[in-house]
């Protein structure tokens, strides 16, 4: 049951357990309440006129991208752990469960607009043909991935780049999004993880939406690519550094730690093909070293390129990464071109019958 999705065609998966391998990204963060308070304070201080979104059910921040990227938030904006905020002791906000190292780097791959519609069409067709069992009430969507990120760390008056090394992340979510569990040493030091079955800041159950979708929410979305993209542009208006980049990011988030029905999954790629500025990167590498072809887009303001990486032959999603490709100024200049601010790789997706149950434990 515990299948490496990079080695198996999704159409051949066991319908009772395995799900298609698709984009798994979103914004993993450091210790939930601590980083929420620290990050919100910095955002309010630097940009009084903008408001950051609340953390989602998975303990991840979904932020509006400010036109001026804060140094401490820059890595988080396309997926880096919210561990960029310095701790009270000034030693950086790392998690005790994840080793830290130097900044993650890569060779910036060449990008081209040639072949974008054709590639996304092939990915869309592969998604539509994938066997996609429904999630029943009482079951959970299980996703296991590997992730790493680069962040800024301040000690006294000196700020440097560091990274959380590659680590395992496991998440469980109920179809309605009201119950869940997360085990991620970059989020919580406890090996047991933490509950995601929490209300919002006002004590109300969290409502699913574009920035925090549940399976039930996704099942109700339109599957017409034009209508879907129009909805994304309308609801995300005013967020991010540009409407086009925000639309691309939102689609990436919808393909993240969630489970879109097959028809919607296919429609999302057709919608992405209609966003100006989308490019192909012929050689991109996921968090565990698997090479593939990437659908990507450059945020002209931040200079960071968001890449969705697919198997070159099967078009199965392998992982995602965000790469700095342009020089920044000020404190942002620390993040040099070639810096990988976030990288992930999907290792397993499954429907399981209990929270914290893994596919190998299923009877």
Q: What pLDDT digit, counting tens, does each position of 318-335 carry? A: 999 999 999 988 778 899
Other C-beta atoms lying within 10 Å of the C-beta of residue 352: 19
Q: What is the pLDDT of residue 96?
A: 58
163 part of a folded domain: yes
Query: Is residue 22 very low, low, confident or very high in pLDDT (cuts 50, 70, 90)?
Result: very low
163 has pLDDT over 70: yes
Supply the pLDDT for residue 284: 97
Give 8's pLDDT tier (boundaries 50, 70, 90): very low
pLDDT of residue 202: 80
Total domains in the fold of the chain: 1
In-domain check, residue 255: yes
Q: Which regions of the chain does DSSP assign to beta strands (E)?
A: 100-101, 111-112, 140-155, 158-173, 180-183, 194-195, 279-285, 291-299, 304-310, 317-324, 340-352
Range of the domain at 183: 10-361
Average pLDDT over residues 229-235: 97
Average pLDDT, the chain: 77
- Backbone phi and psi for residue 264, each to the nearest 5 degrees, phi listed first: -70, -40
Whose tokens are 């990464």? That residue is 321
Query: How much is the pLDDT for 363?
Result: 57
Q: Is residue 1 part of a domain?
A: no
Mean pLDDT of 169-189: 93
| Mean pLDDT value across residues 162-170 | 95
On whether residue 280 sits in a domain, the answer given is yes
Give domain status of residue 284, yes or no.
yes
Distance CA 348, CA 358 (A): 10
Query: Residue 350 has which token pair?
Result: 């499954």
What average pLDDT does the segment 70-88 reach?
Answer: 32
pTM of the model: 0.76
Confirm whether 176 is domain-assigned.
yes
What's the helix, strand, coil split of the chain in %, to 5?
A: 20, 25, 50
Q: Where are the alpha helices (H) located in 201-276, listed in sequence order?
A: 215-219, 225-235, 243-254, 262-272
Instruction: Write the pLDDT tens digit of every residue in 244-293.
Output: 999 999 998 887 778 889 999 999 999 999 999 999 999 999 999 999 99
Q: How far apart are CA 80 and CA 304, in angstroms?
A: 12
**pLDDT score, position 119:** 98
Token pair, residue 258, equals 């969630």
Is the CB of residue 104 less than 8 Å from the CB of residue 339? yes
Residue 362 predicted with pLDDT over 60: yes
pLDDT at 350 over 60: yes
Per-residue model confidence (pLDDT) at position 226: 98
> Looking at residue 53, what is its pLDDT?
32
pLDDT at position 129, please? Answer: 87
- Find which of 52-61, 66-75, 109-118 is predicted with most confidence, using mean pLDDT: 109-118
What mean pLDDT comes out for the span 202-216?
A: 86
**Residue 1 confidence (pLDDT):** 33
Mean of the pLDDT values across residues 180-196? 91
Q: Would you call 33 exposed, middle or buried from its count of C-beta atoms within 10 A (0-12, 13-18, 19+)? A: exposed
The torsion defined by the Cα of 90, 96, 97 and 102, in degrees rounded to 10, comes to: 40
Residue 3 included in any domain: no
Which has more pLDDT, 11 or 306? 306
How far apart are alpha carbons 28 and 26 in whole angstroms? 6
* pLDDT value, residue 55: 39
Q: Model confidence over 83-127: pLDDT tens digits?
A: 333 333 333 344 557 889 999 999 999 999 999 999 999 999 999
Is residue 13 pLDDT above 80, yes or no?
no
């Amino acid at each position: 049951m515990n299948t490496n999705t990079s080695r198996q065609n999704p159409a051949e998966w066991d319908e009772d357990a395995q799900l298609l391998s698709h984009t798994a990204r979103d914004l993993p963060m450091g210790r939930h309440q601590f980083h929420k308070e620290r990050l919100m304070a910095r955002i309010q201080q630097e940009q009084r006129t903008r408001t950051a979104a609340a953390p989602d059910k998975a303990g991840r921040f979904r932020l509006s991208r400010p036109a001026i990227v804060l140094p401490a938030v820059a890595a988080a904006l396309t997926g880096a752990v919210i561990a960029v905020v310095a701790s009270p002791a000034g030693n950086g906000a790392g998690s005790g469960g994840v080793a830290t190292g130097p900044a993650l780097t890569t060779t910036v791959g060449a990008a081209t607009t040639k072949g974008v519609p054709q590639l996304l069409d092939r990915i869309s067709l592969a998604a539509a043909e994938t066997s996609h069992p429904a999630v029943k009430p009482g079951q959970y969507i299980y996703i296991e991935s590997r992730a790493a990120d680069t962040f800024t760390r301040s000690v006294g008056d000196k700020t440097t780049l560091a990274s959380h090394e590659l680590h395992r992340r496991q998440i469980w979510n109920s179809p309605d999004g009201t119950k869940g569990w997360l085990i991620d040493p970059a989020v919580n030091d406890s090996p047991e993880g933490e509950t995601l079955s929490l209300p919002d800041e006002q004590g109300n159950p969290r409502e699913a939406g574009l920035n925090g979708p549940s399976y039930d929410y996704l099942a109700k979305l339109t599957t017409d690519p034009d209508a879907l993209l129009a909805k994304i542009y309308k609801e995300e208006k005013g967020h991010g550094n540009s409407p086009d980049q925000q639309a691309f990011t939102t689609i990436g988030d919808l393909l993240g730690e969630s489970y879109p029905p097959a028809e919607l999954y296919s429609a999302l790629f057709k919608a992405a093909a209609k966003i100006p500025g989308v490019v192909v990167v012929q050689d991109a590498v996921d968090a565990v070293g698997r090479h593939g072809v990437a659908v990507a887009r450059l945020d002209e303001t931040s200079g960071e390129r968001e890449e969705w990486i697919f198997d070159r032959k099967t078009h199965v999603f392998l992982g995602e990464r965000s790469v700095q490709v342009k020089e920044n100024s000020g404190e942002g200049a620390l993040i040099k071109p070639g810096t990988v601010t976030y990288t992930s790789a999907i290792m397993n997706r499954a429907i399981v019958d209990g929270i914290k149950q893994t596919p190998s434990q299923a009877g």
